[in-house]
Amino acid sequence: MTTPAPETAPPPQREAFRLALRALASGVSIVASRDGDGLPCGIAMTAVMSLSFDPPSMLLAINRNASLAAPLLAHGRFSINILGDGDAEWCHQFVSTPPAERFRTADWADHPLGVPVYRGALASIVCDVDCADDFGSHIIVRGLVHDAILGEHRRGLIYLDGRYASAAA
């Protein structure tokens, strides 16, 4: 006989949980969209994962207070721009720049589907929001893939133990 799972999980020890997450290596992407005035917006994200091939789909977890959250949900379309290991300093500059100024460089192109795409990305994936669910501090966004663009093949940029690092297959 199996014991039923508790309806709510016990609260994890917060500090142990924080430290445990530092051991989780994650690829770094810039997720970008447009606001109500058509201006580009975006943040760096590690909470990006592939969901399925059938249908082609992705999952994001965005903090509801992030500058990207409201515009992405309103616009309904976004790009996931997967960074290479040469982008660590560029990414740091991007996140350190005020949101309204992050796209004032020639590093971004306009995708025909109406979202910004990073010219230097290993790959960019353009999605439409399929659904979005609230979960505590975050919004879980499911995206249906409409296009994938391949850039130059390089090592990936990962975030591990609070630092950027390089990942090679």
Ligand X SMILES: Cc1cc2nc3c(=O)[nH]c(=O)nc-3n(C[C@H](O)[C@H](O)[C@H](O)COP(=O)(O)O)c2cc1C
**Rounded to the nearest whole angstrom, what is the least distance from the CB of residue 143 to ligand X in the complex?**
14
Cβ proximity to ligand X, 8 vs 163, nearer residue:
163
Token readout for 109 is: 């192109």
Using DSSP, state whether 131 is helix, strand or coil: strand
Q: Is residue 40 within a helix (H) or strand (E), and if so which, with residue range?
A: strand 40-45
User: Which residue from 33, 34, 40, 44 is in contact with ligand X, where contact means CB under 6 A?
Assistant: 44
**Gap between the Cα atoms of 124 and 147, Å rounded:** 8
Q: Is 95 in the site for ligand X (CB under 6 A)?
A: yes
Closer to ligand X by CB, 1 or 157: give it: 157
- Taking the complex as a whole, the smallest distance from the CB of residue 47 to ligand X amounts, in Å, to 3
- Output the smallest distance, CB 4 to ligand X, in A: 32
CA 30/CA 120 separation, integer angstroms? 11
Q: Which of 27, 35, 47, 128 binds ligand X (CB under 6 A)?
A: 47
- Closest to ligand X by CB, 64 vs 119, is 64
Alpha-carbon radius of gyration of the chain:
17
Q: What separation in angstroms does the CA of 54 have from each of 51, 59, 139, 144? A: 9, 14, 23, 10
Residues that bind ligand X (CB under 6 A): 28, 43-47, 61-63, 66-67, 95, 99, 159
